[in-house]
Structure 1
Amino acid sequence: MRAGPPQHSDLGGTGSGKTTLLNVLSSFIPEGESIITIENPAELQLQHPDVRRLEARPPNIEGKGEVTQRELVQDALRMFPDRIIVGEVRGGEAFDMLQAMNSGHLGSMTTGHANDAQGMARRLVSMVQMAEDIDMPYSVAVDLVANGIDLIVHIVREKTGRRRIDHVVEVVGPVRGPDGASYDVELNPLWKYVQGKGFVWVAEEMRADHLERLRDKGGWRPPAGLRPLRPGGEVA
């Protein structure tokens, strides 16, 4: 069981409010924790006393001097942060980010473009496989995403211009075939926006480790009758 705050990914279309949500969430990070942000370009304005900002750089007119987000993620791991926040993952840097999430940098966050939470999980798998010099089997990439991400938040922009959270899901674990190889990421919807009712709780069960962290470290009170699940979907 991992200790610490959940790690999550914010997703949505252009202008839906993903960066704004990261800024809001950062205000809840304890002041004693160290944060490194990695962006291209820099947009985050975190309200926190200990933030080190890294920004990717394109090559100059001679084709030299480029600094990629993937290189910055690798450098950030050597700077001993408590959390790493990647402004937006677009390619192979997803591999290094998930490596960090799977090796002790709990509470890290990122954003990405997708139509829904399931689409974001599958896009992350594809981006992991885009990493250069890494010939990773699809099933291994699925495991990396399923074990590294705890929560996915989907944000939408309505026709009126109003921005809102559409749904929040937890990552239950990898879906495995008869041969034991992982082929998809299983998600469990927790909250969902319902027209006329607003943002409502829709889950009947939740992973035990997510439940304990939200309750013990976040002060959240789970709904009565919520059944805890072990990673992989078995009732605890």
Structure 2
Amino acid sequence: MFDLTGRVALVTGAAQGIGHAVATALADAGATVVATDIRDQSDLGDEIRTRSHDVTDPRRWAEIVDEVADSEGRLDILVNNAGVSGYDQLHELSLQEWNRIVAINQTGVLLGMKHALRLMRPRRSGAIVNISSICGATSVAGVAAYHASKHAVLTMTKNAAVSYAAEGIRANAVLPGWIRTPLTLGQTDELNDAFLDATPMGVGGESADVAAAVCFLVSDHARFITGVDLPVDGGYLAR
């Protein structure tokens, strides 16, 4: 459905789940894809370049974006997908756990946009998609640090959208609901059942559903869309 031939994309957190599906979908649409993660990504296939990447490390961000600049001369698409969850209630949350989640989910997004903009701004073109969560737009009990980080991603996305729109750079966020991934399958049955029971469509989604939304947002079909929060959630946020 989407032709991304000739475009260069960088996707973080691509070893599994949503990131894996996004990297694969972008490559299938014709983009040159650089996929990064701290985990092994060997099953992504030979057509996707993979790199080891801790998104909290600014020096590693600089290295990877510099490598893209040297090899491709451009960066058209950034998908900030890398993220972690955490289940602590606010009164039980340690500062160490808070800092870990915020560093990956929020600071990692900041660093990604900061370095991607180095290549996008001179070309006056680019599309950024930040993966937030339905927990970025509503609240459930617990997961205090996760909520805070995913809310922040929405605000950061809107700031980037209004800051760089005049330079031809778009920034949007995707808010997955309950998506079948290793992360959600590792949650308790009680928590998963609560999310699914509150989903009007009555079922969970697949990583491919989120990947399709990302492909749309980075394509020319979305050329007049920036600063939006797009739920992919089976109607969860419409309740």
The interval holding the TM-score normalised by the smaller chain is: 0.3 to 0.5
Instruction: Answer 1 or 2: which has greater helix percent.
Output: 2
Instruction: Answer 1 or 2: which has greater strand percent.
Output: 1
Rg comparison, structure with higher value: 1
With structure 1 as the length reference, what TM-score do the two structures score? 0.42
With structure 2 as the length reference, what TM-score do the two structures score? 0.42
